[in-house]
Amino acid sequence: MATATATTIALADDVRVSGLLQTPPRARACYVMAHGAGAGMTHRFMTAAAAGLADRGIATLRYQFPYMERGSKRPDPPKIAHAAVRAAVAAALAALPKLPLIAGGKSFGGRMTSQAQAAAPLPGVRGLAFLGFPLHPAGRPSAERGEHLFDVQVPMLFLQGTRDTLAAVDELRPLCEKLGSRVTPKLFADADHSFHVPAWSGRKDAEVFDELLDALTAWTDSVIG
C-alpha cells in the first residue's frame, strides 16, 4: 500500500499549511483533495478515501486550510481558502508534473475549490470532483451557492447522497441539468452528507464508500482519457 508523505505547502512568505501526498506505483492521475469545514485532512473519511484511491491507481494530495492548521473552528474567508486551493494545486503539479490533476474534496473543500476554479482556471486541473457538495445550509433548500459553477468550464462530478441535508435532490438535479454535459451527477440512495446509510436501507456504509471511490475512479479515467 502507498504510504502518505508529509509535505509543507506555502501560501505566502508567512503562511504555510501541512499536506499529505500519497502516490501509488504507476499512478495515472492525482486528486487534490480538500477537507470539509469541521474536520481536517487526517479525518477517517479523508484517510480512507486516499487509501482507497491509491488502491485504484490514483494519487492524492490532502492538505489543511489555514484555519484548520491553526486549530480554529472558524473556516477561512473565501479569499484565503482560494489561495490555499491554488497553493495545493501548484504543489501537486510540482511534485507530480507528469500526472493530470483532478481537484475538489469534501463539502466545504469542494466548494472552495470550485469557487477558485470559477475565478480563474487552476493550472493542470482537468476536472473537479465533489464528495458531497454543500449546495445550501441544512433545512434551507436553494441553488444559490451553485451559481458560480456556471463559470467553471472543466468537467465536474457530483457524488451526493439522496438524504444529504446540504444538497436537496430537488435543487441539485435542476442545477445539474442547467449546467449541461460538463456535469456528471452520481446519487447514492439513502446516503447522507457523510455517505452514511441507515440500517433500514439494507446496505452498509462500506459498500457505499466503495461505490463512491469506484465512481470517482471511473470518471477520472474518462476525463484524463
Q: With 90 as the cut, is the pLDDT of residue 2 above it?
A: no
CA 194 to chain centre: 13
Write down how long the chain is. Answer: 225
Distance separating alpha carbons of residues 204 and 17, to the nearest angstrom: 35
Residue ranges of domains in the chain: 4-224
Question: Contacts for 152-155 with beta carbons within 8 Å, 24 or more apart?
Answer: 152/114, 152/117, 152/118, 152/128, 152/182, 153/121, 153/182, 154/117, 154/121, 154/125, 154/126, 154/127, 154/128, 154/182, 155/126, 155/127, 155/128, 155/182, 155/183, 155/184, 155/219, 155/223
Structural contact between residues 30 and 99, judged by C-beta atoms closer than 8 angstroms: yes
**pLDDT for the residue 113:** 98
Q: With 70 as the cut, is the pLDDT of residue 35 above it?
A: yes
Q: Work out the percent of the chain whose per-residue pLDDT is above 90.
A: 93
Q: Work out the percent of the chain whose per-residue pLDDT is above 70.
A: 100
Distance separating alpha carbons of residues 99 and 9, to the nearest angstrom: 19
Distance separating alpha carbons of residues 193 and 133, to the nearest angstrom: 9
Residue corresponding to grid cell 430537488: 170
Structural contact between residues 47 and 76, judged by C-beta atoms closer than 8 angstroms: no
Q: How confident is the model at residue 1 (pLDDT cuts 50, 70, 90)?
A: low
The single-letter code of the amino acid at 181 is S
pLDDT greater at residue 97 or residue 14: 97
Closest to 21 measured CA to CA, from 2, 42, 6: 6
**Cell output for 60:** 492524492
Distance separating alpha carbons of residues 50 and 52, to the nearest angstrom: 6
**pLDDT for the residue 140:** 86
The CATH code belonging to domain 4-224 is 3.40.50.1820
Distance separating alpha carbons of residues 225 and 215, to the nearest angstrom: 15
**pLDDT tens column, 105-164:** 999 999 999 999 999 999 999 999 999 999 998 888 888 899 999 999 999 999 999 999
**pLDDT for the residue 141:** 81
**pLDDT tens column, 65-82:** 999 999 999 999 999 999
Distance separating alpha carbons of residues 95 and 210, to the nearest angstrom: 27
